[in-house]
Amino acid sequence: MKRKSIAVVGLGSIGGIVAGCLRAADRHDVIACVRKPLDRLVVERPEDVVDVSLRALAEPGAAHRVDWVILATKAQDTAAAAPWLARLCGPGTRVAAFQNGIGHAARLAPFVNGARVVPTIVYYNGERFGPGRMRFRRAGTAELAVGDDADGQALADLLEGSTLRILRSADVHTLGWRKLLINAIANPVTALTLQRQAVFRRDDIQGLCRGILDEAVAVGRADGAAFAPDEAARTLDILLTYPPEAGTSMYFDRAAGRPLEVEAITGAIVAAGARHGVPTPLNAALLALLRAVSDAAVP
């Protein structure tokens, strides 16, 4: 396959891992778009440690059009990435949205200069230890999920050899909602308790999670997700398979005093519930608490 040009925008735990895996495979030309200069990337994987040189740009003005953009910023930082996207994207570009939440295409459309948006569901767990150093934990049988279409196949081809396993599905809408269910409990509870996933071994926390999930499942069904009858129980069972020492993006953001990705997760559920007339009192209570925490974060 011809080498493609790839720009990774957002070199946190998610973007840093995909950039490191792509550089280790060395099948394409990878550029990192970062706030501060960086020339090396270390990713601790279950099977090995990737330690590679990295070409990084710290100013959007130095960027040029590329074949692919992997946008791995938090959803609330999408608008802040607009100067990068304006330089990197054109009608021939594909943008893989490695972001939480639903509605990726609509969120990115104003910023990508007619590029094709490829909604991508991220399952892997990442932890950033410092500039250019991440730990990669697998979760389940695939690290990513995409649609079973030409765009999904193109992303699978792009990541071939990277060790990132990809699931292609004809119902990526339901998969997106299933990922949102996991995030709906994992992120808010770890952020509000300031505990890693060991907190989900508590019976009282599991009871709370069941109530949150029951609301979110009802909203997802109203939005067209093809959920199983016992979807809420399955979601909690999946969460309990994750390592107790694993954190979540919202947990790490709160611990670092950063704003939280609340609107793309709990906010998305509450907003969809309002659109479909499905009550979400528990999620609405979480949303108020998370917004208060996020608003108090250091800018």
Instruction: Look up residue 162 and give its two tokens.
Output: 């990277």
Domains, the chain, ordered by start: 5-169 (3.40.50.720), 172-295 (1.10.1040.10)
Residue 29 has phi, psi (to 5 degrees) of -95, 115
Q: Is 260 exposed, middle or buried (0-12, 13-18, 19+ CB in 10 A)?
A: buried
- Mean pLDDT per 10-residue interval, the chain, length 299 residues: 93 93 96 92 93 95 97 91 97 95 89 94 89 88 94 96 94 94 97 97 98 98 97 96 91 94 96 98 98 88
Residue-level pLDDT at 6: 98
Residue 223: the pLDDT is: 97
Residues acting as catalytic residues: 179
pLDDT in the model for residue 298: 67
- Range list of β-strands (E), 133-246: 133-137, 144-147, 166-169
